[in-house]
Amino acid sequence: MKKQVLLCCLLATVMGANAQWKPVGDKIKTKWAEQINPAAVLPEYPRPAMERAEWKNLNGEWAYAIREKGGVEPAAFDGTILVPFAVESSLSGVQKTVGEKNELWYKRTFTVPASWKGKQVMLNFGAVDWKTDVFVNDILIGSHQGGFTPFSFDVTPYLVNKGEQKLVVRVWDPTEKGFQPIGKQTSRPEGIWYTAVTGIWQTVWLEPVAVNHVTAIKAIPDVDKELVDVTVSAAKCCAADYVEVAILDGGKQIATAKGVAGKALRLAVKSPKLWSPENPVLYDMKVSLFSNGKKIDEVSSYTAMRKISTKRDANGIMRMQLNNKDYFQYGPLDQGWWPDGLYTAPTDEALLYDIKKTKDWGFNMIRKHVKVEPARWYYHCDKEGILVWQDMPSGDHGNRWEPHVYNGGTDKNRSDESIANYYQEWKEIMDLCISHPSVVMWVPFNEAWGQFKTEEVIAWTKKYDPSRLVNPASGGNHRACGDVLDLHNYPGPNMFLFDAVRVNVLGEYGGIGLPLEGHLWQQGKNWGYVQFKNSDEVTAEYVKFANELKDMVKRGFSAAVYTQTTDVEGEVNGLMTYDRKVIKINEKAVREANQSVIRMLE
């Protein structure tokens, strides 16, 4: 009888917690919003490229408060927020604006599992936008500045002996009032600019580690030499410590190497199976850390054998190559926004859905536009097989843009603080993506938005990762550096400049609009670069543009990016609606058109 009462109490508690949270607002939502369980929000391990067996998810309902900037922890909080959805989103259960004059406070408690005794406890954040201060048991333990990348703190010294631990997070985000990268965010959304995002927007979790433990893995393949260079970073290592890396194919170990942390280990992968969108072969990887001959840490990872490069073809045109073969890259501009979660997909299934649809439509590439995704998104791209161009989120705007000439427009005269922050956040973004085979191109600037010291930034980017291509300024201002000349033209494709030294690509075109009643973010003010009345008209225009593009492939284009994957807020030029409930094109016809363009370089 006591067991039944206890069970009923537990069920009532869970049901009460579930009833407390609900999406707010009257905006459209995806089907996945209905699948969210507040007690198990985004339960998947958030870092597949460096996974540990033990961990504890801290997503769920936290207390929140919005207070004037510069104050202390509130005595009372305003209510509950569902982490990790930004406070402005419907799925947060709050949907309130913070603004540059206020700070967002979070509070919750957690317990450390008894089985973790003797271990260091790491507190990990997937991403928080923008400036974050973290308190454990009323002690400020650390801060992080950056809205798109993960960071961690060792909270062990600040834990009390038993019971619940208090965790408080303070966030300040000035959005476009600051100099930091913001991408498409604004305090006044309209047109191509979207709702601001503030606070925690990726998974928060705990994991136990040894004092000496693996902190990062960098794996860079060399297809020509049949090698992978793997650099393992580790915390608090001493002279007796070493790392061991093993590569496995189907569970069978095919290569292994040992060495000290921080030094590249070279592993031979004989007769490698090459990764491509058509055959996305991944090799499992085990990374272990030993101290005095004893294994004290082990993480699971993976790698792939893939090469991205450029080479002149028989006609003297510089082409992009994948695994030493000319390869036309074709994909959509992907903003990565959600009507219910804003920056955050409601579920992992939703995160994967857009990638799968992109492949269904016959594309082989995605341009991730002025946004960075959670680590699981890049893992899905690796596993599904799709190439990724990774943009740096833009910020500190104010340049003159001249996209139709060489060396036109102006570079922004940014402050030293703004420049230092750019490099810090860009480096962290590159570190996040650097081992993912799907990521083949870095895009430091888009359409002159905050573009500064272009040649220096491109040289730094190329030096930091010489294994990938660098697209210096998608859509201009065009400078004679990097690997790519990237043109933008709307609505149809157009080649109005040509570079004989670098690869030529069409970084944006299209924007065919179709507003669909019942699937709109707002009434009125919906737009596309051109608008049509039904799916047949949109499909016909899309296929027409694809056929025009084929001639430009012959003349020199090596890639093209169609705008865009989904509608986003007031933009109705997606291949599907913002709520992902309606595909707006004839999928078979679009797939055939896309494949016919890609085959132009086979």
**Mean pLDDT rounded to a whole number for the chain:** 95
Of 3 and 251, more confident: 251
pTM: 0.95
Q: 442 Cβ partners below 8 Å, 6+ apart?
A: 390, 392, 430, 461, 465, 468, 469, 470, 471
Architecture category of domain 2-207 in CATH: Sandwich (2.60)
DSSP state letters, 297-334: EEEEEEE-B--EEEEE-TTS-EEEEETTEE--EEEEEE
Work out the pLDDT band at 282, boundaries 50, 70, 90.
very high
> What are the domain boundaries of the chain?
2-207, 213-303, 328-601
Domains 2-207 and 328-601 share a fold: no
pLDDT tens digit sequence for 296-309? 999 999 999 999 99
Q: Is the CATH number 2.60.40.10 carried by domain 213-303? A: yes
Question: What pLDDT score does 432 carry?
Answer: 98
When pLDDT is averaged across residues 271-283 and rounded to a whole number, the result is: 98
Q: Is the pLDDT of residue 342 over 80?
A: yes
From 13-17, 19-23, 434-438, 456-460, the region with the lowest mean pLDDT: 13-17
pLDDT at residue 15, rounded to an integer? 35
Q: pLDDT tens digits for 465-493? A: 999 999 999 999 999 999 999 999 999 99
- Give 307-319 pLDDT, tens digit per residue: 999 999 999 999 9
Residue 552 contacts residue 558 (beta carbons within 8 Å)? no
Burial class (CB in 10 A: 0-12, 13-18, 19+), 226: middle
Instruction: Specify the pLDDT at position 238.
Output: 83
pLDDT band at 8 (very low <50, low <70, confident <90, very high): very low
Q: Write out the H or E segment, with its range, that includes residue 455.
A: helix 454-464
pLDDT at 152 over 80: yes
Class of domain 328-601: alpha beta
- The pLDDT assigned to 14 comes to 37
- Which distant-in-sequence residues (6+ apart) come within 8 Å of 556 by Cβ? 317, 495, 498, 504
Given a cut of 90, whether residue 4 has pLDDT beyond it is no
- Contact yes or no for 128/169 (Cβ under 8 A): yes
pLDDT at residue 12, as a whole number:
35
Residue 5 has pLDDT above 50, yes or no: no
- 7, pLDDT greater than 80: no
The H or E element containing residue 469 is strand 469-470
Mean pLDDT of 163-167: 96
Alpha-carbon radius of gyration of the chain: 24
Query: Is pLDDT above 70 for 71?
Result: yes
Count of CB atoms within 10 A of residue 79's CB? 12
Taking residues 397-412, report their average pLDDT: 94
Percent of the chain with pLDDT over 90: 94
What whole-number percentage of the chain has pLDDT above 70?
97
The reported pLDDT for the residue numbered 3 is 36
Res 161: pLDDT:
83
State pLDDT tens for residues 418-430: 999 999 999 999 9
Helix 375-384, helix 348-360: angle, nearest 10: 40
The DSSP H or E segment spanning 596 is helix 587-598
Q: Say if residue 9's pLDDT is above 60.
A: no
